[in-house]
Amino acid sequence: MTQTEILAKMQPVFDDVFLDDVKVTPELSANDVEEWDSLLQISLVLGVEKAFGVRFRVGEVEATKNLGEFADLIQRRMAETAKA
């Protein structure tokens, strides 16, 4: 899956969590969306893990700066899952 494909697959997760139009782009981060608090962050991570069938390791989601980096992280974890 390319970054673009991953971002596209993230969109429904965002729709479910925000219940509002939040357009998923590589540059987007929590600072850009007023409602995006730590509560919704938890929901987003859980939703993404479910949607992509991955499990992130401690501290690594926090370390991503925007959705582009987050998508890359998803890609790495997916590649691992595929190998296993």
Interface residues toward other proteins, by CB under 8 A: 16-19, 38-40, 42-43, 46-47, 50, 56-59, 62
What is 20-56 written as a DSSP string? S-----TT--GGG-TT--HHHHHHHHHHHHHHHT--P
**Among residues 1 and 40, whose Cβ is nearest to other proteins?**
40
**Among residues 4 and 81, whose Cβ is nearest to other proteins?**
81
- Closest approach of Cβ 46 to other proteins, in Å? 5
Taking only Cα atoms into account, the Rg of the chain, rounded to an integer number of angstroms, comes to 12
**First-residue to last-residue Cα distance in the chain:** 17
8 Å CB contact between 84 and 64: no
**Among residues 27 and 34, whose Cβ is nearest to other proteins?**
34
- Closest approach of Cβ 5 to other proteins, in Å? 23
- Closest approach of Cβ 2 to other proteins, in Å? 26
